[in-house]
Structure 1
């Protein structure tokens, strides 16, 4: 079903020329024309959410960033919207660099796609499966420890009052169970039910979310005397961010005991609906259609515009309106019938012939693409327009997050740690996002001078960040 099925005006006719196509896609390019103001609007919204919201800009128990001297061996778990990763992480600290060694290593790890049926099952079923995967990794680990200390990264909203407490909130990303559950209790119970004699027990030392883990990972590995890791962002299946916030800017219910001194890391949950106001001028009928058919309409407006789960679907919806004069493969008429990876591959194709071959292969079960080179070029242009909009929105939101702690005003070069398949693997996305960030900062300052903003991949950020936080908690530095 095309976006025009929604009771809001849609383009009156499909484009019939390059000029008309450009005009047709202009609504998707609208954010690019006003990025500095969009970043300011995000910042204002984020300040308001920190001060008023109880479902976004949630405080974590983390008050400081890692020093880089943390050491130890930890079991680490990273549960995301699509994948589960479990690994054994060894931290050697900054001193190991002085002798030519590595600061860390991950000798054993595993990665699994989360079965779709578990997303609509119970939390108990999901964590039973997770505990089995932990055992898979531990069986490959040469350890005689009776207890493995565990750090957890959990890529969903949760309420935390300590490093080991986490009450699950509605999850999104295709997960449909909504009852409130205690994460530590769920995993501990499930592991006890599945572990066998002679296997090590687990002790949960810390729980954090994906964006906090990304920031901690980047800060551990990349902070220097001349730079500061100031934020962590996720752009993968979904999206999220974390930043430091002065405690005085928080809602009273979110403030830790001990007054307003200092700062605290926030789990922004920027994907959900409190972030909607800056986006409203740029929401298209295609976005509205996607949202209306989602399992939780209105819940995650930013995620639906930038998340890997949705970019392919937006391409499909736009394509239905672009190619109204053509007979399309059956997959183009099925919800989520276009994979985001296909969009990236087509966008990166060096020639229209290569793009056409990719489309023909992807839709081979439907008899192939069946259309000519010109349609492949148009499909590629649609992919590029949608991914570029996503990169611009992530950039503007990131600059807005940096404003929460006035990070751009102290003159220090800023590092933003990132992870997620879109930033890591979608062709050109990271470069476009970083370019937009620097353009926004330059235009806001009216000068090329001042601190730079650089995106740095937090490689293995989920499991490394979980281990770093576990080391910080164990060392008493949080």
Structure 2
């Protein structure tokens, strides 16, 4: 081989080495970026971990806060509000009743016919979206919209029923925002949540606002019961099953209520109740404890929210926020790595990824995760995502969802602990009086809301965690029952059970 040949060979060798070096360098950088992603996800998983020991700490903290909230006003982040509901529907109610449920981006109108013997003979339900503009408008505009929708519903469902034929009909009103009740059919709005901000409504009687709107629309109907969504769910749960003692709503927002002994409400000593009990609206979205596994993503979400340092529990577990927590994680991963390709501007948009879309990705069981790819492209403008990145997306969804579901489970067991139904003193602590054999009392918790009813993985994680916390001896006696449209139907049932009362039966002396 001549000098020229040797030169060319040497040059080719150098070039090959250079190309190889570049390729190796790229691989090294790619691996480093990939490990950054893996490390970030591992850090998220560790920060959001909910081992059973930690969940039991949350259970204890929930029970302690419940005691404190019942002892004095402002004694706890849990408001523990009196509902003035001292008698839950018992299944004997009958007749036709209407209900409204306002509590999120949609509201529901219901008509039910009760036939006694725990039977519902018929029901009609209509869902209507609330225009975004009305969520920040005036109380008059907002309630005029609600009243007009009810009027049109009555006419349509009654085949042009004359409005005079519903004169004096009792109406149940589920209003899923923090309200300080003054009677079973009146209460003032404490504050707005879930994106609503109608300023002139705060500290106003919401029933009075609705009654005036009904009058303006020519509807002569009586709001016989004002209830929170969780109270409505408890009412229908108790109507169907007498062992129902608590209710949880876990959807766009979240709340819980339960049946408490009247003498345990220390902040209202002298409380008179015909049944000796009182339904307490916990407003548990505001629960907080140092035992909650908070991450940097939760902190950032809270700081940027409309209500910083408020509704901390809700921001970790409810449908309004879970999708946005996932978006924040993916945004950070996209900044630190090119795993999702070029950084999409949509990742900076709050709430662009809804929780239903997050759930759809989480539950995608196709081999190539095509639903994940579709949602990333159509919602976040992230295209041509490799399979391993799609798997990371599913993993993030799983971590966020699992934490939320298990924290809800801890909250539920916290309620049971407060009322002595968790068996922490052994099976005898929940024993039915008079049963020497130690038979455990059956305890039913009514659950409503899209996260539980429609999100299968969330429901499985929640049920699994309740059983894990309670233990195999106690868990079989605690039943979580799904309620469809429970909050609205329960309001109509409470209207039925309260319609015959000429005065409130619950008083604070």
TM-score if structure 1 supplies the norm length? 0.87
1:226-245 correspondence runs (5 A) = 228-245=243-260
Question: Post-superposition shift, 1:141?
Answer: 2.8
Residue 156 of structure 1: aligned partner: 177
Single out whichever of 173-182 and 363-372 deviates more from structure 2.
Answer: 363-372
Q: Using the alignment, how far apart are the partners of 2:211 and 2:310 within structure 1?
A: 30
Q: Report the Cα distance in structure 1 between the residues aligned to 2:274 and 2:215, rounded to whole angstroms.
A: 41
Is residue 229–residue 488 contact of structure 2 (8 Å, CA) maintained in 1? no
Partner residue in 1 for 2:307 = 296
Q: CA RMSD in A?
A: 2.4
Q: Distance in 2 between matches of 1:15 and 1:129?
A: 53
Specify the alignment match of 1:39 in structure 2.
59
Q: Displacement of 1:256 after TM fit? A: 5.5
Equivalences, count: 443
Which ranges in structure 1 are unaligned for 5 or more consecutive residues? 1-12, 96-102
User: Alpha-carbon deviation of 1:105?
Assistant: 4.0
Q: 2:126 aligns with which of 110, 127, 143?
A: 110
Q: How much has 1:37 moved relative to structure 2?
A: 2.4
Deviations 1:187-215 (A, max 9, x none): 111122233xxxx5211111111101001
For 1:376, the equivalent position in structure 2 comes to 390
Q: Give yes or no for contact 2:331–2:347 (8 Å, CA) kept in 1.
A: yes
Map of 2:72 onto structure 1: 52
Residue 368 of structure 1, CA deviation: 4.2
Which one of the candidate residues 445, 452, 457 is aligned to 1:423?
452
| Residue 220 (structure 1) aligns with | 239
Q: Give the direction of change, closer, same or farther, for the CA distance of 1:332–1:470 in structure 2 (3 Å limit).
A: same
**Deviations for 1:32-53, whole angstroms, at most 9, x for unmatched residues?**
5522222122111211122123
Pick from 453, 456, 480 the counterpart of residue 455 of structure 1: 480
> 2:30: which partner in 1?
none
Query: In the alignment, which residue of structure 2 is the partner of 1:167?
Result: 188
CA contact (8 A) 2:84 2:183 kept: yes
Contact map agreement 1:81 1:173 (CA 8 A) in 2:
yes
| Aligned counterparts of 1:451 and 1:140: Cα–Cα separation in 2 | 45
Does residue 176 of structure 1 match 2:187? no
Query: How far off its partner does 1:149 sit?
Result: 1.4
| CA distance, structure 2, for counterparts of residue 145 and residue 30 of structure 1 | 52
Rounded Cα–Cα distance in structure 2 between residues aligned with 1:428 and 1:365? 22
Contact 2:224/2:499 (<8 A) preserved: yes
User: 1-side partners of 2:316 and 2:40: how far apart?
Assistant: 23
CA contact (8 A) 1:84 1:114 kept: yes
Provide, for residues 431-470 of structure 1, a one-character-per-residue CA deviation record: whole Å limited to 9, x for no partner.
211211111111xxxx525752121111211221001111
Partners of 1:433 and 1:365 in 2: CA distance: 28
Distance 1:14 1:33 in 2: 32
Asked whether the 8 Å contact 1:217–1:461 carries over to 2, the reply is yes
**What is the rounded CA distance, in whole Å, between the counterparts of 2:282 and 2:345 in structure 1?**
39
CA contact (8 A) 1:28 1:284 kept: yes
Alignment of 1:364-443 (within 5 A): 364=378, 367-408=381-422, 409-410=430-431, 411-442=440-471
The TM-score with structure 2 as length reference comes to 0.81
Query: Which has the larger displacement, 315-324 or 48-57?
Result: 48-57
User: Displacement, 1:140?
Assistant: 1.4
Q: Taking structure 1 as reference, are residues 266 and 374 closer, same or farther at Cα in structure 2, changes over 3 Å only?
A: same
Q: In structure 1, the residue corresponding to 2:61 is in which secondary structure?
A: helix
1:310-353 Cα distance to aligned partner (Å, 9 max, x none): 00000011112233212243321211121111110011111352
Match of 2:115 in 1: 92
Determine if contact 2:52/2:468 at 8 Å carries over to the other structure. Answer: no
Q: 1:209 and 1:268 mapped to 2: Cα distance?
A: 10
Change (3 A) 1:373 1:339: same
Q: Is the contact made by 2:248 and 2:256 (CA closer than 8 Å) also made in structure 1?
A: yes
What are the residue-to-residue correspondences of 1:271-286 with 2, within 5 Å?
271-272=285-286, 275-279=287-291, 281-286=292-297
Distance in 2 between the 1:176 and 1:33 partners? Answer: 39
Q: Decide whether aligned partners of structure 1 residues 414 and 15 sit closer, same or farther in structure 2, where only a CA change above 3 A counts.
A: farther
- Cα 1:60/1:367, change in 2 over 3 Å: closer
Mark the runs of 5 or more structure 2 residues left unpaired by the alignment.
1-32, 423-429, 432-439
Aligned to 1:10: none
Match of 1:98 in 2: none
**Distance in 1 of aligned mates of 2:347 and 2:321:** 14
* DSSP 3-state at the match of 2:124: strand
CA distance in 2, matches of 1:222, 1:260: 21
